[in-house]
Amino acid sequence: MIIVLKKGTEQQEMDRLTDMITGLGGITVNPIVGADLTILGLIGDTSRIDPSQIESFRCVDKIMHVAEPFKKANRMFHPEPTVVDVAGVKVGGKKLAVMAGPCSVENRDQITYVAQKVKDAGAAILRGGAFKPRTSPYSFQGLKYEGLELLCQAREATGLPIVSEIMSPRDIDVFVEKVDLIQVGARNMQNFDLLRQLGQTRKPILLKRGLSATIEEWLMSAEYIMAEGNPNVILCERGIRTFETYTRNTVDLGAIPAVKKLSHLPVIVDPSHGTGKWWMVEPLARAAIAVGADGVMVEVHNDPDHALCDGQQSIKPEVFADVMDDIRKIAAVVGREV
């Protein structure tokens, strides 16, 4: 339930209303004070509330019922778009956020070289997997803690904040210390223990859409993080499984305006995992920005033919520079900046 307050409502009156509601038990009240609007977002068992009791407060403008099961992630709870600060890089504002780097950190030369190249082309955040969720247990699993160290060195050399995927709750302390943006991969989108524990940190979280997750399931996963108190969630559409096999996944571009309508959280697109084909990354990156995404995440490798993971969908630094040029042009058309 949402209670919209009249303009100019005094704090004292808001407190009186809040006390009355929390006094009913089982309900928490989240005040959201915006530039034009102050609202109270109610979470919990609102069936105990008699609307006429609320309407009797003179400060109440209107009461709205929230049909969706996600509350804190709901745009009704937070009409302004959320801007997440990733070590100084703002994601969700006018400026687009481009995250780029290799699928996996392979060695120091590789990650520092790619980091410098993507920075020169205009990327704002460096990506690199250290813990890799591979389909086969016999495939390269990532350099793990050593990979995180190498990423930190690349951050030091370039100044780019870093994003990397976490797979287990036992690594949360290490990730909080070393990484600027913690990625929850598609395969862990419904690892609710991991989500809850990440919710207890205040680190920005990049939440990828699950392989077969509906938009509502994806937003409910964001809700798990936010319900614990961490509001810093960025969503990432990375393609979903459909009957189509030509592409690795089907990029659901319609999910971007849908998420923008339903939620205030920033949302980016990963055209690399979304298509699985390097030559499709550029057109889909353009489309992502055109459709309203707040940025993209792209896999870039110095030598895709010999990459230890996802070489077929990784672009070379020269192609990434072209992608950035395209993004700049589309950004101007849709009123964004790079």
Q: Exactly one of 69, 133, 159, 283 binds ligand PEP (CB under 6 A); which one?
A: 133
By the rule CB under 6 A, 273 interacts with ligand PEP: yes
Q: Residue type at 326?
A: D
d(CA 129, CA 148): 8
78 binds, options ligand PEP, Mn ion, none, Cβ within 5 to 8 A by partner type = none
186 binds, options Mn ion, ligand PEP, none, Cβ within 5 to 8 A by partner type = ligand PEP
Applying CB under 6 A, the site for ligand PEP has a residue count of: 11
By the rule CB under 6 A, 128 interacts with ligand PEP: no
Task: Return the beta strands (E) in 45-199 as ranges.
Answer: 60-64, 84-86, 89-91, 97-101, 125-127, 162-166, 181-184
Compute the half-sphere exposure of residue 112: CA atoms within 13 Å on the CB side of its CA.
10
Task: Return the beta strands (E) in the chain as ranges.
Answer: 2-5, 27-33, 38-44, 60-64, 84-86, 89-91, 97-101, 125-127, 162-166, 181-184, 205-208, 233-237, 267-269, 295-299
By the rule CB under 5 A, 165 interacts with Mn ion: no
Q: Identify the sign of the CA torsion 266, 272, 275, 278.
A: positive
> Residues 154-193: x/- map of binding to ligand PEP (CB under 6 A)?
-----------x-------------------xxx------
Residue placing its CB nearer to ligand PEP in the complex, 208 or 260 = 208
The set of residues, in sequence order, having a beta carbon less than 8 Å from that of 157 and lying 6+ positions away, is: 112, 115, 116
Residue placing its CB nearer to Mn ion in the complex, 75 or 127 = 127
Q: Which residue is nearest to ligand PEP (CB)?
A: 185
Helix, strand, coil percentages in the chain from 3-state DSSP, rounded to 5: 40, 20, 40
Query: Residue 75 Cβ, how far from Mn ion at the closest point, in Å?
Result: 31
248 binds, options ligand PEP, Mn ion, none, Cβ within 5 to 8 A by partner type = none
185 binds, options ligand PEP, Mn ion, none, Cβ within 5 to 8 A by partner type = ligand PEP
Residues at the site binding Mn ion, with contacts judged by CB under 5 A: 103, 310
Residues at the site binding ligand PEP, with contacts judged by CB under 6 A: 103, 129, 133, 165, 185-187, 208, 238, 270, 273
